[in-house]
Amino acid sequence: MTRTTISLPDDLATLLAREARRRETSVSDIVRRAVESFLGASGDRRDLPFAALGRSGRRHTARDVEKILTAEWGHARRR
pLDDT of residue 18: 96
Contact 61, 52 (CB under 8 A): no
- Given pLDDT bands bounded at 50, 70 and 90, which one contains residue 78? low
Residue 77 C-beta-side C-alpha neighbours within 13 Å: 6
pLDDT tens digits, residue range 1-55?
Answer: 899 999 999 999 999 999 999 999 999 999 999 998 888 776 656 566 666 666 6
Q: What is the pLDDT of residue 63?
A: 83
Mention every residue, 6+ apart, whose C-beta is less than 8 A from residue 8: 16
Element (H, E) at 29: helix 27-39
What is the reported pLDDT for 38?
85
- Provide the whole-model pTM: 0.52
In a 13 Å sphere around the CA of 1, the CA atoms on its Cβ side amount to 5
Buried b (16+ CB within 10 A) or exposed e, 19-37: ebeeeeeeeeebeeeeeee
Q: What are the boundaries of each domain within the chain?
A: 9-43
